Amino acid sequence: MGRKVTVATCALNQWALDFEGNLQRILKSIEIAKNRGARYRLGPELEICGYGCWDHYYESDTLLHSFQVLAALLESPVTQDIICDVGMPVMHRNVRYNCRVIFLNRKILLIRPKMALANEGNYRELRWFTPWSRSRHTEEYLLPRMIQDLTKQETAPFGDAVLATWDTCIGSEICEELWTPHSPHIDMGLDGVEIITNASGSHHVLRKANTRVDLVTMATSKNGGIYLLANQKGCDGDRLYYDGCAMIAMNGSVFAQGSQFSLDDVEVLTATLDLEDVRSYRAEISSRNLAASRASPYPRVKVDFALSCHEDLLAPVSEPIEWKYHSPEEEISLGPACWLWDFLRRSQQGGFLLPLSGGVDSAATACLVYSMCCQVCKSVRSGNQEVLADVRTIVNQISYTPQDPRDLCGHILTTCYMASKNSSQETCTRARELAQQIGSHHISLNIDPAVKAVTGIFSLVTGKSPLFAAHGGSSRENLALQNVQARIRMVLAYLFAQLSLWSRGIRGGLLVLGSANVDESLLGYLTKYDCSSADINPIGGISKTDLRAFVQFCIERFQLTALQSIVSAPATAELEPLADGQVSQTDEEDMGMTYAELSVYGKLRKVAKMGPYSMFCKLLGMWRHVCTPRQVADKVKWFFTKHSMNRHKMTTLTPAYHAENYSPEDNRFDLRPFLYNTSWPWQFRCIENQVLQLERAEPQSLDGVD
């Protein structure tokens, strides 16, 4: 009897409600898995309908169409002689569950509902699904008639069970269950399950790839066994980018690693592993075996099928590999670039329009589009026909083949420098030079006539002419005049996005790209409905510190020397009059804090879940060598005052790529009121009392801090 098994897992770029496309990608992955000799294929979570259906899960159509796709899969000759494990929503006794449906040769073996639902951060699974809470228990599920006609089964087992083939035992856990304190794989492994599968819908967050890998390797290191992880990959219709990283591990080592970012819609990993390696590894861990002897058994669904072949002595087995991680700068250059590509091709637009100011943020956004062009050219060179077809559709040229990223960038990116009398020559030059180096179609224009016209209307109606502070105006006048310039840029950006291709005799429109970073959004250091208002924002979840490092990375990786002067210049909005031709306004002065401090506030507020008082207490320790308690108190109060005053701006933030867990994105991630008592009287009094107490107690020890 054989003992070597070939198993397959995959990362698929599924799209919410794209049942046709999702079916084709599933079939393609099964076909590749079979061609490589696999006899079991695992796919991502809810792959049939796409993970990000959100409130569409409430619709009976979503359930109906998922079963129709399942019927097409059961009927297809591609799915014969391989155990297929697919994900879809299933309603059982009027309750909706997030399920795995496992089938073989037109028979449904098991429907396994998810038992621990993801419900924090970007996840809201408890809104649409109920967790299955009956551990090691199954019921009979009455199959829809269209499935009965194909499988000749009236019912199928539904619940928490495992599959027993002739040669091994397979158990399923779904995404979040791997992250829970007591994961199902523990008890399954103790009950003799040798292959654990995990179908995930896990999204990218900077510097987090190792968490998934560590959980999987630790699971198989403590308990032995083979572990398969499948994940969605790409943008399936919203702010998240699912970052693949499919993997196959055994006994604490990784045997196959999938890519984290790529433009391939279907990626299949296979490995051939020896079940005896699992058995001998487990047999010598006496503490595990003691626990196993007391384990409660799982219901087993018997499967007349083997994952191994009779004569497999000469079959080569897979070798362990070292997991390769991307640096944060590489993650930024690849994740948002792939997300932009999915957005562009799926929205069927002709490219992007980016207001390019000559500053770090818009330059970083331009670099992301250039990085996307590099990825597209690389994919086309490696023979990816789907990417080539998408490029030709976008540029509307049936014989176009992108060779050079600069050439492709010229077709799909229009950059626009919008000067005013408050703009310096330096930023204009920086924007133009960067546009030349990445190859974008570049426009320079002057907004002064429009600004004059708008302020002229106000003066005509009121008989008053507002002035900048530099010319004797009040702070209210100063701010209003800055905002008019900023908002006119947004109006012009949309006008050029709609008509600049038309003016060049090219079909289609452009998506407007925003470039406000996560720190500015958090503080509200932006004008509502200015150029931060766009169709999508690839850097809205990335901090200023990370963006600077990314721009530095682009200088070396892409030889974009024009970025040198951009990264070394102080950040400025250029909305106030110049002083002797020089910039008189800098972001950090305007904000009253540094970008580095802002990142710290952001992480403590959201990730560490701190209000003003807790943050003050935490920062007392963190900043004890650089600030007095009074200075810490002033900084914290200033941050919370500004953040709460500007919280209303978060409600209109442009949809941004989610990359940081301290994002203030108001749509689904960071849910808070937007009308605050911005003086925080109770909270700030608690801080004040604490400061006075510290100042009375330790006057000497505070003298040494400047």
pLDDT one-digit tens code per residue, 12-44: 999 999 999 999 999 999 999 999 999 999 999
User: 615 and 636 in contact (C-beta within 8 Å)?
Assistant: yes
pLDDT at 704: 47
Last residue of a domain, one of 316, 337, 355: 316
Q: Does any domain span residue 550?
A: yes
Average of pLDDT values for 345-367? Answer: 96
pLDDT at 585: 61
Give every CB contact of residue 394 below 8 A, 6+ residues apart in sequence.
344, 345, 349, 350, 351, 411, 412
Last residue of a domain, one of 257, 289, 316: 316
Phi, psi of 171 (to 5 degrees): -125, 150
pLDDT at 582: 62
Last residue of a domain, one of 316, 348, 370: 316
Among 355-359, 378-382, 529-533, 686-690, name the one with the lowest average pLDDT: 529-533
235 & 364 share domain: no
Among this protein's residues, is 357 annotated catalytic?
yes
388 & 257 share domain: no
pLDDT at 422: 87
262 & 379 share domain: no
Work out the percent of the chain whose per-residue pLDDT is above 90.
88
Q: Which domain holds residue 215?
A: 4-316
Quote the mean pLDDT of the chain: 94
User: 536 and 349 in contact (C-beta within 8 Å)?
Assistant: no
21 & 51 share domain: yes
Q: Does any domain span residue 530?
A: yes
Q: Does any domain span residue 466?
A: no
Work out the percent of the chain whose per-residue pLDDT is above 70.
97
- Chain-centroid distance, C-alpha 102: 28
Going by pLDDT thresholds of 50, 70 and 90, the confidence category of residue 51 is: very high
pLDDT higher for 420 or 585? 420
Residue 445 has what DSSP assignment? E
Residue 571 pLDDT > 80: no
Choose, from 114, 606, 642, 649, the residue flagged as catalytic.
Answer: 114
Going by pLDDT thresholds of 50, 70 and 90, the confidence category of residue 383 is: very high
298 & 345 share domain: no
Q: Does any domain span residue 657?
A: yes
Choose, from 357, 371, 515, 599, the residue flagged as catalytic.
Answer: 357
Choose, from 31, 45, 173, 433, the residue flagged as catalytic.
Answer: 45
Among this protein's residues, is 293 annotated catalytic?
no
Q: Which of 282, 204, 215, 280 is nearest to 247 (CA)?
A: 215
**What's the CATH number where 335 sits?**
3.40.50.620
Average of pLDDT values for 246-273? Answer: 98
Residue type for position 200? S
300 & 343 share domain: no
Q: What is the pLDDT of residues 186-196, one digit of tens each?
A: 999 999 999 99
Distance, in Å, from the CA atom of 196 to the CA atom of 9, rounded to the nearest integer, reads: 12
Q: Does any domain span residue 703?
A: no
Residue 6 pLDDT > 60: yes
pLDDT at 573: 59
Among this protein's residues, is 688 annotated catalytic?
no
272 & 217 share domain: yes
510 & 659 share domain: no
CB pairs under 8 A, 24+ apart, for 325-330? 325/209, 325/210, 326/209, 326/260, 326/261, 327/553, 328/206, 328/207, 328/546, 328/549, 329/546, 329/549, 329/550, 329/552, 329/553, 330/553
- Please state whether 330 falls in left (phi above 0), alpha (psi between -120 and 50) or beta: alpha
Name the 3-class secondary structure at 340: helix
Domains of the chain: total: 3
Phi, psi of 545 (to 5 degrees): -60, -45
386 & 301 share domain: no
Q: Does any domain span residue 693?
A: yes
Distance, in Å, from the CA atom of 688 to the CA atom of 630, rounded to the nearest integer, reads: 8
DSSP secondary structure of 220-254: HHHH--EEEEEEEEE-SSSS--EE---EEEETTEE
Choose, from 175, 373, 416, 531, the residue flagged as catalytic.
Answer: 175
Q: Does any domain span residue 480?
A: no
Give every CB contact of residue 292 below 8 A, 6+ residues apart in sequence.
190, 191, 192, 282
Q: What is the pLDDT of residues 95-114, one digit of tens each?
A: 999 999 999 999 999 999 99
Name the 3-class secondary structure at 76: coil
pTM of the model: 0.94
Residue 706 pLDDT > 50: no
pLDDT at 664: 85
Average of pLDDT values for 232-260? Answer: 97
Q: Does any domain span residue 276?
A: yes
- Chain-centroid distance, C-alpha 84: 27
**What's the CATH number where 214 sits?**
3.60.110.10
361 & 275 share domain: no
Among this protein's residues, is 114 annotated catalytic?
yes
Q: What is the pLDDT of residues 599-630, one digit of tens each?
A: 999 999 999 999 999 999 999 999 999 999 99
pLDDT at 691: 96
419 & 282 share domain: no
Q: Between the ranges 53-67, 417-431, 663-677, where is the mean pLDDT highest?
A: 53-67
C-alpha distance from residue 294 to each of 164, 171, 187, 251 (Å)? 20, 19, 10, 22
Distance, in Å, from the CA atom of 358 to the CA atom of 381, rounded to the nearest integer, reads: 32
Burial of 310 (0-12, 13-18, 19+ CB in 10 A): exposed
Average of pLDDT values for 493-500? Answer: 98
277 & 311 share domain: yes
Q: List the structure tokens of 86.
A: 């697919």
Distance, in Å, from the CA atom of 216 to the CA atom of 269, rounded to the nearest integer, reads: 16
